[in-house]
Amino acid sequence: MNNDNKFVVEGKLSDNERLKGQSRLLRGTITEDLSDDVTGGFTADNFQLIRFHGMYQQDDRDIRAERIKQKLEPLHNVMLRARLPGGIIKPDQWLVIDKFAADYTMYGSIRLTTRQTFQFHGVLKPNIKLMHQTLNKAGIDSIATAGDVNRNVLCTSNPVESELHQEAYEWATKISEHLLPKTKAYAEIWLDGEKIESTQEDEPILGNNYLPRKFKTTVVVPPNNDVDVHANDLNFVAIAENGRLIGFNVLVGGGLAMTHGDKSTFPRKADDFGFIPLDKTLDVAAGVLTTQRDWGNRVNRKNAKTKYTLERVGVENFKAEVEKRAGVKFGESRPYEFTSRGDRFGWVEGVDGKHHLTVFIENGRILDYPNKTLKSGCAEIAKIHKGDFRMTANQNLIIAGVPSEQKETIESLAVKHGLIEASVSNQRKDSMACVSLPTCPLAMAEAERYLPSAVTEVEALLAKHGMEQESIIYRITGCPNGCGRAMLAEVGLVGKGPGKYNFHIGGDREGTRIPKMYKENITDTEIMGHLDELIGRWSKERNDKEAFGDFVIRAGIVAPVIDSAKDFYE
């Protein structure tokens, strides 16, 4: 720990600090729990600890009440989240996860997430070890995709499109490796690795109590802000000269979560610390992470993320500490601009003459539906594909690195299985939701299951007002944790209770403005009523090509959120 304690929050440490400290570097008694077949679940401490290994204990909330009535324990199972820096996975790995999802998960799906990876939902206890061993054989792990650590590192999609993207992707991987836990607990518990626990073992960067809270990192290549930098604790914005990467602007302290009724919590944009040359990247990554490790709030987890540390200690103090630790002086920020956030659907050709096909996956849920066999389609493509797959931070999929001679075959498979559908509107492509019910224990309202019909309603309103060629960045999140990143949308719905949402408007299309609450705790019918009126006004009063989020601010319908710590709740 750093000796400079003036920014350490005093008080009784949160219980998570005790369990991390006592866990013997993330071992706890997970192994004992695994062999306890009386329950399908884990003890309270291990319930938290398995997160550091990339798993969450869940149960299906649709059947919870019925099981309780029958005096059965909830049908405990785990959700697994893989670690895939930049979202890249090879076709042979895809076939492994495709088969595991079919054979051993309750829902049979591969779920692409908003952080460029996939989740299995519904793995029962007897199959957990098999799952890790299967993934390991395929070269995939799930270390540190959850828990108080640096999570899966994002990178702007389509990295093979140019040399710059390739370099950015390599940095995302290096940062991920550098900040990974060093404990051998994962190998010991899941892969039957040799027990090497000893007093020598240590976590030099994360610290033996790990971080105060989760920590998220991206590498982004402007002008596409597809990773949504302002949702992240630490961002490296690629700065290039003559097409080659020369360094990064570093943005620190973004995050989107809040708690209903607690104004000490709020979404916050990241601050620009300035420019660093390439050779300082890993030092700065560790410098920001360890400053947050030492100064972050370990007393109150609600105020523990980097965004609150910056608000409490001041941006300049935090930045000076990072400079000291990383041995660097931040230079003046280099100019860059974000002009888009969405994925580019369809084919693009890379500098090497290879082709990349981005396909739309509604909600990121890869499954065979009656009218489209998305999962079979991806597997068929994986059987012949020579390049790789790339998961995007918008829950879509890129079939990347296709040689010219295979383009036609892959396209016809994609069409056959509904991975390419001409009828999907721009509005649908610009809409996103978090998982929410039935698997998420924190869900307050539907999100993934509500999104498709909500988008159909919005499409009808756009058509009614002659705006069917336009779209609104529309995001739904089942609770204020904000996993669907509604707090960076032009229209953001935040679950409040069954069928009820807080309705926010006024974000921008580039993801650089937080939307303001317009109406609280309203139903779908009320939301569509308000949208009807707002889209009607937008169609008549907009300037030139003015976007919906910009219009509602200019028209004075809501005030812009400028400094969310002060004006988000005003």
Binding site for ligand SRM (CB under 6 A): 56, 58, 79, 81, 113-115, 117, 119, 145, 151-152, 214, 216, 228, 231, 255-257, 305, 364, 395, 434-435, 439-442, 481-485
56 versus 248: smaller Cβ distance to ligand SF4: 56
| Residue 436 binds ligand SF4, judged by CB under 6 A | yes
**Residue type present at position 231:** A
Applying CB under 6 A, among 26, 447, 488, 534 the residue interacting with ligand SF4 is 447
| Residue 483 binds ligand SF4, judged by CB under 6 A | yes
For residues 83 and 351, give the distance between their C-alpha atoms in angstroms, rounded to a whole number. 28
| Residue 77 binds ligand SF4, judged by CB under 6 A | no
| Residue 499 binds ligand SF4, judged by CB under 6 A | no
- Report which secondary-structure segment, H or E, holds 366: strand 365-366
- Give the chain's largest Cα–Cα span: 70
The stretch near ligand SF4 (CB under 6 A) out of 173-181, 303-311, 478-486, 516-524 is 478-486
Give the shortest CB-398-to-ligand SF4 separation in angstroms: 23
Radius of gyration from C-alpha coordinates of the chain:
23
Catalytic residue flag (residue 115) = no
184 versus 214: smaller Cβ distance to ligand SRM: 214
Torsion-angle region of 403 (φ positive above 0: left; ψ -120 to 50: alpha; else: beta) = beta
77 versus 291: smaller Cβ distance to ligand SF4: 77
| Residue 435 binds ligand SF4, judged by CB under 6 A | yes
If contact means CB under 5 to 8 A according to the sort of partner, which of ligand SF4, ligand SRM, none does residue 477 touch?
Answer: ligand SF4
- Report which secondary-structure segment, H or E, holds 165: helix 163-178
Closest by CA to 374, choosing from 130, 98, 118, 160, is 98
Give the shortest CB-147-to-ligand SRM separation in angstroms: 9
Residue 303 tokens read as: 């105020």
Strand order in the sheet with 474-477: 431-433, 474-477, 491-497, 500-505, 516-522
Catalytic residue flag (residue 155) = no
Give the shortest CB-437-to-ligand SF4 separation in angstroms: 8
DSSP 213: S
Helical segments of 364-511, H only: 374-384, 404-416, 426-429, 451-464
Closest by CA to 254, choosing from 178, 305, 321, is 305
Catalytic residue among 213, 434, 485, 509: 434
Binding mask 290-329 for ligand SF4 (x = CB under 6 A): ----------------------------------------
Catalytic residue among 151, 213, 280, 509: 151
| Residue 28 binds ligand SF4, judged by CB under 6 A | no
The stretch near ligand SF4 (CB under 6 A) out of 117-125, 239-247, 295-303, 436-444 is 436-444
Catalytic residue flag (residue 269) = no
CA 195 vs CA 187, 206, 301, 429: distances in Å: 9, 21, 32, 48
Catalytic residue among 81, 269, 293, 509: 81
Contact 489, 474 (CB under 8 A): yes
Contact 360, 345 (CB under 8 A): yes
Active centre residues (catalytic): 81, 151, 214, 216, 434, 440, 479, 483
> Which positions touch ligand SF4 (CB under 6 A)?
434-436, 440, 442-443, 447, 477-479, 481-483
